[in-house]
Structure 1
């Protein structure tokens, strides 16, 4: 008779342990990884790596560069010198598994023995500088503590294109070396370094040429709205000019960069106070998204009300519109500047 005692039936025991391992792996590793991949996507302005740059990434990993250099700009003052903005999940969404056996390379780093490389191609756009720096760092940065990588170069007198030969400053040439040229791996590594720059975020200054403005529609009368007066601002056009570059025409935002407005609990909340606060003061409490600038000094109460009403009635959202008076009251409570006040008191 088969025993169901877990401690006496080795097949039952082994099977239970195996199923537990598979279940925990799916819960702890696979499910979070799938969620992160689904929630993030490269920015539309991101440029895919070329074949040489991809090969240079492998050299970067193989030579251990990640041990001393980070590629992450944090949202703190001391990191402002390393990039034009804090890093976003979308900045790293392009990285995929190297192959079926090797996982996505983790090159964000955790130590800055050397400087951060997020925008190293902006600070040092010269390929010659990078080659000299790899061959002998002290030849271009006297105080550098970075080790030299002479094995990425070779001494070749014949058959070498003259354009590849390095002019090594006196005292830094390897003993007995004549014509120093970079190997293919060195050129690929430099190509990868020169690809490192932050993809620009939409500015919101004006809609991109490929964006089509949504035709204006008749808005439902808001509670408390005046019965007569000048025509209300066009919320759809204002949205396209100020919000659409980031939150997109379909209201779905950009994964890993800007949150969706479609189906957003903030947008659909019966009380629109938080939404007005965000537009007036900006928003920056969520590290997984970019910083939203304040619009208090740029948009009037009527314009903000028109934008909010448009967002609360588009893409399946079904919240009530708001009035300019409602926005005015919150602006007064926040003591936020207004375009009219700034124009009168420049």
Structure 2
């Protein structure tokens, strides 16, 4: 009997071949991968709020513009301290029976990679304002505003999370309050941190590093090299304190005319850069994270940033020497 003359034999053979190929190509390798990959010791499972935030991340299409993968190429080094590995995703399970959004690795970077956004930008105040209207903190942002995650009230109730939205970005009178969905989405974003590798494990190297040894300054010369303080400020500080240094009223303090920035002794300013600051929470300002420590800023980079702040936007404080910076950094080391 010809295979093509019996539809049962024909379709049965096709289904059998499909089942065999699926098992060999997809199912068995996936089971082997699960058996040979375990979560990193420092990784944590998502809490209920963080998992709800992940669902909102998917539902609002965030994965269409943001990746969660640090490729092992040098250009990705700004997104994480090391290239991503399979173990980074080992703790992520199916969200439910019907949907498998295990990795959310994404396919393009219309927006920045979010692998370590919880470390790069740990401030919930910033995230809420950014979700309400991205242009309020990043003027050139093309990200849509997620205003439906917030609501206007005449007066905030006890327990409400008030978002300090500048008047020019408000849609009407009243106080902007974050809905539970906004807080859940922020909780998920803050949970995105690259776990540390176990002690003694060498991190994969970034490929295609530029060799600047022939033309660039030596390690001994870096301390005296004038770095671009404006560029470093734009990378590490501008999102909160704004390009004009004036911050955002009720959210991030102004650096223009700041007594801390202009102080003759730069110790407090350097300490804030490296260790963060919560001294103005009572005034409604957010807690500043330890940006210098998070970004692993070198002493010369710290000097470039604070000198940019001390001499920009009308500030006219004397520049700080590298020796002053080194002495302060040495004194605040644990």
Interval containing the TM-score (normalised by the shorter chain): 0.5 to 0.7
Higher helix share: 2
| Deviations 1:62-111, CA, capped at 9 Å, x for gaps | 11111111111122221111111111111111111222322243311121
Matched, 1:67 2:102: no
- Number of aligned residue pairs: give it: 207
Cα distance in structure 2, aligned partners of 1:64 and 1:124: 21
The equivalences for 1:165-184 within 5 A come to 165-174=162-171, 176-184=172-180
- Alpha-carbon shift at residue 5 of structure 1 (Å): 2.4
Cα distance in structure 1, aligned partners of 2:138 and 2:206: 39
Gaps of 5+ in 1: 205-245, 247-256, 259-282, 287-346
Match of 1:49 among 23, 37, 46: 46
TM-score, with structure 2 as normaliser: 0.58
What is residue 118 of structure 1 aligned with on the other side?
Answer: 115
Match of 2:143 among 142, 146, 165: 146
Alignment RMSD (CA, Å): 2.3
Change (3 A) 1:124 1:52: same
| Deviations 1:154-191, CA, capped at 9 Å, x for gaps | 223367336412121021112x3522211211111000
Match of 1:106 among 103, 106, 111: 103
Matched, 1:34 2:31: yes
Gaps of 5+ in 2: 208-334
SS at 2:177's partner residue? strand
Change (3 A) 1:40 1:285: farther
What is residue 193 of structure 2 aligned with on the other side?
Answer: 197
- Alpha-carbon shift at residue 196 of structure 1 (Å): 0.8
Matched, 1:84 2:81: yes
Match of 2:10 among 6, 9, 13: 13
Cα distance in structure 2, aligned partners of 1:66 and 1:187: 18
Check whether the contact 2:70–2:80 (CA below 8 A) recurs between aligned residues. yes
Cα distance in structure 2, aligned partners of 1:104 and 1:166: 30
Matched, 1:188 2:184: yes
Structure (1 or 2) with the larger CA radius of gyration: 1
What is residue 213 of structure 1 aligned with on the other side?
Answer: none
